[in-house]
Amino acid sequence: MQPMELLRELSDAFGVSGFEDEVREILRARVSPFVDSVTVDPLGNLIALRKGKDSRVLMLDAHMDEVGFIVKWVDDKGYVRFAPLGGWDERIIGGHRVVLRTRAGKKRLGVIGSAPPHILSAEERAKPIPIDKMFVDVGATSRQEASDLGVEIGDPFTIHYPFGEIAEGYVTGKALDDRAGCAVLIETARRLAEEELPMTTAFSFAFGEELGLRGATTAAFRIDPAFALAVEGTIGADMPGIAEENQPTRLGRGPAVSVADRSIVVSPKVVRALEKIADENGIPYQYKLPTYGSTDAGAIHLTRGGVLSGIVSVPCRFIHSPVSTLRMNDFENTIRLVTSFVRSLPKSVL
C-alpha cells in the first residue's frame, strides 16, 4: 500500500476518543505482518511487539484517537445535544456535516445546525455560539424517531471530511492528528521488516490521548520501555496573521523535533541524538517551538522509575478543527528520521 493510501485509510477511519475500535482493527491488520505479536490491553491500546537483538524495549507511540463529540441528550423534537471529546475550537464547528456511529455500529449522517443569520440580531450574529447551545439535526422529528434511527445518549460522532489531495503532495483529512503518526509507525515497521531490530520494539497505538494522555499512561506501564519516542501530528501554524515566533511548526521544513511542550521537557541528550541522526542521513528537520501542546511522551516519561522519551512530529495545519492538512514530504521525512533513529539504538541514547 502506498503511504498516501495508508494515510487516506487511517484518516477516514472512525476513531473518536474512547471509541477507537474501527481504526484499531485497521491498524492491527496493517501492522501484523511486520511483528511477532499483537495485543489489545483492557482499555483498548493496541500494542504490537517485535523482538530485537537487545531485549530492552523501545516504545514507539502514536495515538489512534481523534477529537470528536458525544451525544448527551436528545430533545422531544429529535434534536441532538452534545459535549466535546477532546479540545475543539468551538467557534468553527457549526454548519458542518457529521458522521455519528450508533450502538449497532451503523454510521448516520447529521448536521451541526445553527439559526440562520436572517433571524438573528446584529449582536447575536457577532458572537460565537457556545457548544451547549448547538445541536445536531439527524433528520428526526421526535425523540422516538431519533431512537428509531439508532441515535441514543452516549453515541460518538465527528465532523467528517474525506481525505483528499488538494495540490500535489499536499493532502487534507479529518484526523491527521494523529493518524499521521500511526501511519509513520506502520511504515517504520514495514521498512524495517527485513532487518534485525537492534532493540525489541513495541509499536504502541494509544487510545484516548485527546482526553489527557490516557492510553499512553497504561501502555507505558505494561510495556516498561527503556526508551520511548512519541510520533505526533502537531500544530503547523505557518499561516497569515501568526508571527513566526508563535508558529510551533511550519509545513515543508521536515519533521519537528520537540525540545519541550506542556507535558515534558525533553532530555537534551535525546534532542542531540535526533539532530545527529537527521544530519547523518541528510534529513531536514525543525524544532517544535516550546511549549505548545501536550503529547503522550508527557505520560510515558513519568512511568515507573522514569522513561527517557522524545517526540518527533509531522507538522499539520488546522488540527482540532474540522479539517487538517500536511505535506507528504514532511510525512516521508518523518518516517525516514524514525526509521534511522530505530537503527541507531541503543547506542545513540542509552
| Residue 68 beta carbon to Zn ion: minimum distance, rounded to whole angstroms | 13
Binding segment for Zn ion (CB under 5 A), chosen from 99-107, 172-180, 217-225, 260-268, is 172-180
Tell me which stretch binds Zn ion (CB under 5 A): 34-42, 108-116, 169-177, 267-275. 169-177
CB closer to Zn ion, 177 vs 332: 177
In the complex with Zn ion, the residue whose CB is nearer, 61 or 177, is 177
Distances 56 to 33, 78, 87, 187, 221 between C-alpha atoms, Å: 22, 55, 35, 22, 14
Place of cell 496493517: 30
Residue with smaller CB distance to Zn ion, 155 or 178: 178
Burial of 241 by CB count in 10 Å (0-12 exposed, 13-18 middle, 19+ buried)? exposed
How large is the greatest C-alpha to C-alpha distance in the chain, in angstroms?
69
CB of 212 to Zn ion, least distance (A): 12
- What is the DSSP secondary-structure string of 79-120? EEEEEEES---GGG-TT-EEEEE-TTS-EEEEEEE---GGGS
Q: Judged by CB under 5 A, which stretch of 52-60, 124-132, 174-182, 325-333 contacts Zn ion?
A: 174-182
Name the residue nearer to Zn ion (CB basis): 52 or 208. Answer: 208
Pick the catalytic residue: 187, 209, 210, 232? 209
Q: Which three cell numbers stand for residue 190?
A: 514495514
The Cα–Cα gap between 339 and 325 comes to 23
**Minimum CB–partner distance for residue 75 and Zn ion (Å):** 33
Please name the residue that has the C-alpha cell 507535558: 263
Binding mask 120-159 for Zn ion (x = CB under 5 A): ----------------------------------------
Nearer to Zn ion, 16 or 140 (CB): 16
**Contact between residue 335 and residue 187 where contact means Cβ atoms under 8 Å apart:** yes
**Nearest CA-CA partner of 166 in 22, 326, 14:** 326
User: Shortest gap between Cβ of 147 and Zn ion (angstroms)?
Assistant: 34
Stretch of 130-138, 154-162, 176-184, 198-206 lying at the interface with Zn ion (CB under 5 A): 176-184
Q: Cell 505520560 belongs to which residue?
A: 299
Complex with Zn ion: residue 319 or 345, whichever CB lies closer: 319
Q: Which run of H or E residues covers position 6?
A: helix 3-12
Give, as ranges, the residues between 14 and 33 that touch Zn ion (CB under 5 A).
Answer: none
| Options 9, 12, 178, 187; binder of Zn ion; rule CB under 5 A | 178
Which is nearer to Zn ion, 100 or 216 (by Cβ)?
216
Find the shortest distance in angstroms from Cβ 176 to Zn ion: 9
What are the φ/ψ torsions at residue 111 (nearest 5 degrees)? -135, 130
Minimum gap (Å) between residue 63 Cβ and Zn ion? 6
- Which of 11, 2, 3, 15 shows the shortest CA–CA distance to 233? 11
Q: Is 177 in the site for Zn ion (CB under 5 A)?
A: yes
Shortest distance, CB of residue 17 to Zn ion, whole angstroms?
Answer: 11
Q: Is 47:222 a contact under the CB 8 Å cutoff?
A: yes
Provide DSSP, 228-265: EEEEEEEEE--STT--GGG-SB-TTS-PEEESB-SS-B
- 209 catalytic residue (yes or no): yes
Part of the chain binding Zn ion (CB under 5 A), chosen from 178-186, 213-221, 299-307, 339-347: 178-186
Positions that interact with Zn ion (CB under 5 A):
177-178
Active-site residue list:
209
